[in-house]
Homo-oligomer: A and B are copies of this chain.
Amino acid sequence: MPRAATASDAFNAIGETHRREILGYLARDERTVGEIVTGLRLLQPSVSKHLRVLREVGLVRVRRNGRHMLYRTNGEAIRPLYEWTRTFERFWANQLQRVKERAESKGQEGPGTAEI
């Protein structure tokens, strides 16, 4: 079995750096394909292809305006990713806690707890 299609879900779609950049770029306002091309310095066919993937997984929305296509990020579709990552929130929360505790008890370094 090959790797899951990039358009199979949001988790796969955001694996690509350029697609994440596009999502960021489209987060504020809707943008034309041409604006993305010049704004992010990508080639037009590449942008169109990435937009197709993003559209297929619902990460962007489009509407037509004359001969322009106006794309915008659909933040709702990012929420599942957010929720998934939040599942691990306690890790860095604990980390901050530990750092704070260590600072407060400002004593001794634990001897090298080996990490592989």
Contact = CB atoms under 8 A, between A and B. Distances in A.
Contacts of A39: none
A6 to B, nearest CB: 7
A95 B88 CA distance: 24
Contact of A86 (B63, B82, B115): B82
Interface in A13-60: 14-17, 20, 23-24, 27
Nearest to A85: B82
Categorize the interface residue count of chain A. Answer: 35 or more
B61 A75 contact: no
Interface in A64-103: 64, 73-76, 78-82, 84-92, 95
A7 to B, nearest CB: 12
B62 A76 contact: no
7 contacts: A3-B16, A4-B17, A23-B88, A24-B87, A82-B85, A82-B86, A85-B85
In the complex, the 7 A-B pairs of residues with the closest C-beta atoms, listed nearest first: A75-B91, A82-B85, A75-B88, A12-B15, A78-B88, A15-B15, A81-B85
